[in-house]
Amino acid sequence: MVPFLNAGQISAALPYPTLVESLRLSFRKGAEAPRRHVHPISPDSEAVLLLMPVWQPERHTGVKVVTVAPRNPQRGLPSVHSIFMLLDSATGAPICLMDGEELTLRRTAAASALASEYLSRADSSRLLAVGTGSLAPYMATAHCAVRPISTVTVWGRSPDKATHAAALLRQQLEASGIQAEVETTTDLEAGVRSADIITCATTSTTPIVHGDWVRPGTHVDLVGGFRPNMREADDALMCGAAVFVDTWNGALAEAGDLVQPMEAGRLERASLQAELADLCAGRHPGRSDTRQVTLFKSVGAALEDLCAADLAWDHHCRQATSRPHGGAAF
């Protein structure tokens, strides 16, 4: 029987320092990752199926299967379901199934933390988390794992949801052994003006972070806005910052924060700095001075899924062999 790793097992296998370092090596090495397939599967309910294949010929292949059903909350169900299948590249044999949501949350956060190591100031101590969805606590915790963050401020359109997200964040920080004060705010502009790092994970279709609020030396991390009609940052910020992306293919096709100002002629492709692989390989130095405003825009990369899945599988195998009599709890 093909084993299944649940969310708890994925979480235990992927501490951020380990995952960040593994992602650095994976971006240097690369992988084959075609653009994801998107298929409407229930037009009446607007449900879609996303397929994200990725492989490294010498070891593993992976496919993440994601369904997005926007009307599910009305049914009392999550709008997104996801599963990841790991296979042997040489034989094609299935190796393991994994909880796709936890895998995605942790690799997304770790990729932003990896970019932050190159783009944020090393002394960054104040983090603003914009958004209250399931990803927000992961993003904040990952950033705290790579920078000496002493205060995390959470902002959301709903103060109640912000309070809930802050509580989840405190739990994740404690579980990771990270000490940082967590607070909430209803004043987004004030939060932006006082932050060293701003991480945004929203589904906004209009800009919510404005360039004239962002002080010199700030690093901005945008992980929402994964469709061309979505925006988290205004044109002033996009055009005034040194902009980096996770991958050119994904960001230039899907990120509304890039697509919209480029189509309007306000942002030139030539002004964009580099993708994450360039930073990891040393082809671009990252931040150039302490007053520079940097911005990292990600829409997700299948390479990150495969990297995280490899780590989770290796951890599972080590755990299995360390059990008495070599027993494996599948």
- As a residue count, the chain comes to 330
User: What pLDDT is recorded for position 12?
Assistant: 96
CA-to-CA distance for 325 and 247, rounded, in angstroms? 45
> What's the CATH architecture for 107-302?
3-Layer(aba) Sandwich (3.40)
Cβ–Cβ < 8 Å for 120, 294:
yes
Helix (H, G, I), strand (E, B) or coil at 275: strand
User: Which pair of structure tokens corresponds to residue 66?
Assistant: 């994601």
pLDDT at 325 over 60: no
Give the span between the Cα atoms of 167 and 172, in whole angstroms.
9
Q: What is the pLDDT of residue 323?
A: 66
Find, among 296, 285, 286, the residue nearest to 247 by Cα.
Answer: 296
Of the CA atoms within 13 Å of residue 176, those in its CB half-sphere come to: 27
Q: Which of 317, 273, 328, 319 is nearest to 295 (CA)?
A: 273
3-state secondary structure of 54: strand
Domain boundaries, the chain: 4-103+303-326, 107-302
Strands (E), 225-293: 242-245, 274-275
Provide the β-strand partners of residue 55: 32, 61
How remote is the C-alpha of 204 from its chain's centroid? Answer: 16
User: What is the structure's pLDDT at 324?
Assistant: 63
- Hey, CA dihedral for 6, 12, 16, 22, is it positive or negative? negative
Beta-carbon contacts of residue 153 (< 8 Å; ≥ 6 apart): 126, 127, 128, 129, 183, 184, 185, 191, 194, 195
Residue 58, burial from CB neighbour count under 10 angstroms (0-12, 13-18, 19+): exposed
3-class state of residue 203 by DSSP? coil
Closest CA to 273 of 260, 283, 259: 283
Across the chain, mean pLDDT equals: 94
Q: Is pTM beyond 0.85 here? A: yes
* CATH of 4-103+303-326 given 3.40.50.360, 3.40.50.300, 3.30.565.10, 3.30.1780.10: 3.30.1780.10
Give which of 213, 223, 34 is closest to 136, Cα–Cα. Answer: 223
pLDDT digits (tens, 9 = 90+) for 47-98: 889 999 999 999 999 999 999 888 887 888 888 899 999 999 999 999 999 9
In this prediction, residues 266-284 reach a mean pLDDT of: 96
Secondary element (H or E) of residue 83: strand 80-88
Give per-residue pLDDT as tens, 149-195.
999 999 999 999 999 999 999 999 999 999 999 999 999 999 999 99
